[in-house]
């Protein structure tokens, strides 16, 4: 059941980025500590333009693994039930394990984000700029074109190239 008044209030009060930050904040599993990640990101807003916390996205995805992650997320949200802290049954509110950050294609920013991956004890940290050899040439070209000049400045002459830094926790 959706409480429309609550949804309207949240939508008017918070940006999509704040809503995703809340999802990250809630999660803690294995070596992942969402509160630590959001605290660090809030202190270093100069390093990132936006982030998304979700299941991993694979490209190419010949085995449908990305779609499987979407199904896992949909099922977890469909089956979620609020439970008191004393309950032995606990549901995963949002079963993400991969954080994607878009940042300016600038060595110092990327390097600092890679260092955060070590601090956060991520099992895997990767940078995607559209030239990954695992992607087909066609996909590489499409990604590279999409990331070039994609971070807007005050005017078109200030647009900056972007890269994606992804962090995965097992």
Tokens representing 131 are: 């030239």
What average pLDDT does the chain have?
82
Number of domains in the chain: 1
pLDDT in tens, 109-158: 999 999 999 999 999 999 988 676 666 666 667 777 777 877 887 666 77
Tokens representing 113 are: 């984000």
Cα dihedral: 50, 43, 37, 104 (round 10): 30
Strand order of the β-sheet with 98-104 is: 50-54, 98-104, 162-168, 124-128
pLDDT in tens, 9-41: 998 999 889 988 998 998 888 999 999 999 999
Residue 127, CA distances (Å) to 4, 25, 131, 141 in order: 39, 23, 10, 16
Query: What letter would DSSP give residue 103?
Result: E
The predicted pLDDT at position 77 comes to 62
Percentage of the chain exceeding pLDDT 70: 72
Tokens representing 82 are: 């609020």
Whether residue 67 has pLDDT greater than 60: no
* Segments forming the whole domain that contains residue 79: 4-168
């Amino acid at each position: 059941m959706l409480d429309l008044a609550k949804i309207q209030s949240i939508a008017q009060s918070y940006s999509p980025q704040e809503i995703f930050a809340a999802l990250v904040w809630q999660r803690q599993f294995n070596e992942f500590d969402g509160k630590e990640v959001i605290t660090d990101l809030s202190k270093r807003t100069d390093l990132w333009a936006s982030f998304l916390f979700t299941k991993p996205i694979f490209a190419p995805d010949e085995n449908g693994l990305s779609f499987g992650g979407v199904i896992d997320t949909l099922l977890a949200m469909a089956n979620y039930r609020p439970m008191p802290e004393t309950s032995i049954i606990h549901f995963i509110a949002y079963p993400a394990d991969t954080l994607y950050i878009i940042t300016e294609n600038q060595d110092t920013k990327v390097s600092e984000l890679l260092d955060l991956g070590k601090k956060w004890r991520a099992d895997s940290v990767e940078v995607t700029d559209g030239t990954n050899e695992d992607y087909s040439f066609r996909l590489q070209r499409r990604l590279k074109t999409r990331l070039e000049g994609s971070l807007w400045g005050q005017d078109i002459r200030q647009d900056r190239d972007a890269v994606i830094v992804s962090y995965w926790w097992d």
